[in-house]
Structure formats: structure tokens, C-alpha cells
Structure 1
Amino acid sequence: MSKPFDMGLFLSAVLKGSHATRQRHLRQATIIQAEIAESWQRKTPWSWQRKHVAWFLEHCLDAHSAATRYHYAMTVCLLVRRLQKSWIFNV
């Protein structure tokens, strides 16, 4: 039996700021993970490609406000930093 992926543990190395900010990033990262897992069957960030994250930013956030898209983009920056990738997104 495999353990569920722990996003808090994954992001702990790059999370900084106030408690509320860290909680928001964790909540948003979990939402990103769930959407990608449901649509692309990629359960962990280690298996993601740039196109998966770009798909989330473009299609899942298209009905949200600019402020919400900005906050998700900041969470994506943390995910990319933790994955040690050089992905750049136009948000």
C-alpha cells in the first residue's frame, strides 16, 4: 500500500513567510496537484512536465480573477523552484 503524497513535506524546503501565506501556498499546491492528477494521471510533482503546469494555469484558472491567477503563479514558482526546473510561464 502506498502512502499519499505529502505536499507539505515536498514544499517545506522552499516555503517562507507568514503562517497564512504558507497555508495558502500549501492549499493551492494541493489543488494544482489534484487537477493535474485527475486530468493527466500524474500523481506527484516529480512526474509533471511543463505542459501540465501550463495547462493548469491556462485552463483551470481562466474564470478566476487576476489576483487569484497571480497567487497561483507564485505557488507555481515555489513548485518549480523545489523541482529545480527552469520553467517560465506567461501569467
Structure 2
Amino acid sequence: MSKPFDMELFVAGVLTGSYATRQRHVRQAKFIQAEIAERWQRATPWTWQRKHVAWFLEHRISQRSEATRYYYVLTARLLARRLKTSWVFNL
């Protein structure tokens, strides 16, 4: 039996800032992971491609406020930094 992927541990290395900011990034990263896993059956960020995260940002949260979308873009950039990729996400 395999353990579920621990997103908090995954992003811990790139998180900075206050406790509330770190918790927001962890919560949003878990939400991104859940949506991508449901849509494409990609359970871990190591299996993601840029198109998966771009889909989430463009389609899944498109009806949210501009501020909320901005914070999700920041979280997506943190995930890309942790994956050591050159993905660029704009608003």
C-alpha cells in the first residue's frame, strides 16, 4: 500500500514568509493537486506538465476574483520553482 502524496512536505523547501502565507500556499497547492488528479489522474507534481497547471489557472479558477487568481498564480510559481522547471504563468 502506498502513502498519499504529502504536498506540505513537497513545497516546504520553497516556502517563505509568514505562517499565514505558508499555510495559504499549502492549502492552494493541495487544491491544485486535487483538481489535476481528478481531471488527469496525475497524483503527484512530478508527473505534471505545464499544460495541467495552465488548465487549472485558466479554466478551473477563471470565475474567481482577480485577487484570488493572483494568489493561485503565486502558488503555481512556487510549485514550478520546486520542480525546477522554467514554467511561466501570467495573470
Moved over 6 A (4+): none
Post-superposition shift, 1:89?
A: 1.8
Q: Distance in 2 between matches of 1:70 and 1:47?
A: 24
Q: Distance in 1 between matches of 2:58 and 2:5?
A: 24
Unaligned runs of 5+ residues in structure 2 are: none
TM-score, normalized by length of structure 1?
0.98
Deviations 1:26-62 (A, max 9, x none): 0000000000000000000000000000000000111
- 1:59 corresponds to: 59
- 1:17 corresponds to: 17
Q: Is 1:32 the equivalent of 2:32?
A: yes
Unaligned runs of 5+ residues in structure 1 are: none
- 1:81 corresponds to: 81
The residue identity in structure 1 corresponding to 2:51 is: K
Q: Distance in 1 between matches of 2:28 and 2:89?
A: 17
- 2:43 corresponds to: 43
TM-score, normalized by length of structure 2?
0.98
The residue identity in structure 1 corresponding to 2:84 is: Q
Equivalent pairs: percent with the same residue?
69
